[in-house]
Amino acid sequence: MYIAQAYKGLSDSWRYVVGLLAIFFVWQFIGGIPLIIALLVEADSLAVLGTGDMGAMADVLGSNTLLFFMLLTFVIGLIGLLAYVTLVHKQKITQLTTSRKKIDFKRVFFAFAIWALISTAFIFVDITLAPEDYEFNFNLERFVVLAIIAVLMIPLQTSMEEYYMRGYMMQGLGILAKNRWVPLLVTSLLFGIMHIFNPEVAELGYGILVFYIGTGFFLGILTLMDEGLELALGFHAANNLTAALLVTADWTAFQVDSIYRDVSEPVLGWDVLVPVFVIYPILLYIFSKKYKWTDWKDRLTGEVPSEETFLALENENADVQRTS
């Protein structure tokens, strides 16, 4: 009943329409003001922002400073989102996060740990098999600064994406469409499209969107099958954190002082398809066994109950619990 948690707050359609636009504005525009100010401080540097050249902006501000301001946009967006949900929808953050009585942080940490181990293993296997494609880039002083920024802020960055796409948007679309497949489809496609301006797309072509859209579907399935965002939050944080700390390249979104630098020619290869078509299904199987998921068809494509039906069921369950 994750989508139906929206009924525990004010769930009018207009609140979601206004909210999606207002939160996006705070995230993308208000959140970008500190970066603009930082570039303004540097004489004649604001023009670099319009080019979207991450390397040029890193040259102006320094890679760690640029990363901080990039991640700050997501932190400001997350604050705006949680404030809007609390003040306008009168919905508790727990209800935006999960259908459980409280947020299950064990799920967050489990998903984080399993994907951090797998993605780290993939990176080092690739380094071992093709050492000529990597350059050892470790600098203790710069890496420590990177690690502090990344550990503190990347989980907030990924949480913003999850709360916006698979939390707020999924609940809003779900109660509007009265089913689960529409929000799963729409949020997964939008998650991929939202990465279309990443430098990876410019280098590798639109084929890389298979990975982004596939990841969107994977995270959406996690959310609906597990009736909460916890697994998606942990997975997404692990994915971005390991990427930032371990490997950078001149054509990726995170151009930072990672341990290794990928110096190979960017090629759309197996590393894009294997996670989507091999690793993600295996992970879904592991999670399904651990958390005893059943009734896949209904949870992914079934109907969302009406507000009256859901609240009546909630009251009935509460009465049963009081008498037991």
Please say whether the beta carbons of 146 and 258 come within 8 A.
yes
At 55 the pLDDT is: 67
**Residue 211 to residues 16, 120, 164, 200, 271, Cα–Cα distance (Å):** 28, 18, 20, 11, 9
Flag whether pLDDT at 323 surpasses 80. Answer: no
Question: Residue 201 and residue 82: Cα distance in Å, rounded?
Answer: 30
Q: For 168-204, what is each residue's pLDDT tens digit? A: 999 999 999 999 999 999 999 999 999 888 888 888 8
For the full predicted model, state whether its pTM sits above 0.85. Answer: yes
Question: Residue 133 and residue 126: Cα distance in Å, rounded?
Answer: 9
| Residue 230 lies in domain | 3-311
DSSP structure class, residue 227: T
Instruction: Give residue 149's identity as a one-letter amino acid code.
Output: I
At 43 the pLDDT is: 59
At 319 the pLDDT is: 61
Flag whether pLDDT at 318 surpasses 70. Answer: no
Please, which pLDDT band fits residue 28 given cuts at 50, 70 and 90?
Answer: very high
Q: What is the DSSP string of 247-299?
A: EE-TTSS--S--SEEE-SPP---HHHHHIIIIIHHHHHHHHHHHHT---HHHH
Count structural domains, the chain.
1
Please, which pLDDT band fits residue 117 given cuts at 50, 70 and 90?
Answer: very high
- Is 319 inside any structural domain? no
Looking at the DSSP assignment, which residues form a beta bridge with residue 261?
135, 248
- Is 320 inside any structural domain? no
Backbone angles phi, psi at 62, to 5 degrees: 95, 140
Instruction: Give residue 154's identity as a one-letter amino acid code.
Output: I
Please say whether the beta carbons of 231 and 162 come within 8 A.
no
Looking at the DSSP assignment, which residues form a beta bridge with residue 179?
303
At 296 the pLDDT is: 97
Question: Residue 31 and residue 33: Cα distance in Å, rounded?
Answer: 6
- Is 130 inside any structural domain? yes
- Is 101 inside any structural domain? yes
**What value does the mean pLDDT take over residues 23-34?**
95
Flag whether pLDDT at 316 surpasses 80. Answer: no
pLDDT greater at residue 320 or residue 34: 34
- Is 316 inside any structural domain? no
Tokens 């529409």, located at residue? 182
Share of the chain above pLDDT 70, in %: 94
Backbone angles phi, psi at 269, to 5 degrees: -130, -160
Please, which pLDDT band fits residue 314 given cuts at 50, 70 and 90?
Answer: confident
- Is 324 inside any structural domain? no
Flag whether pLDDT at 50 surpasses 70. Answer: no
Strands (E), 117-196: 134-136
- Is 318 inside any structural domain? no
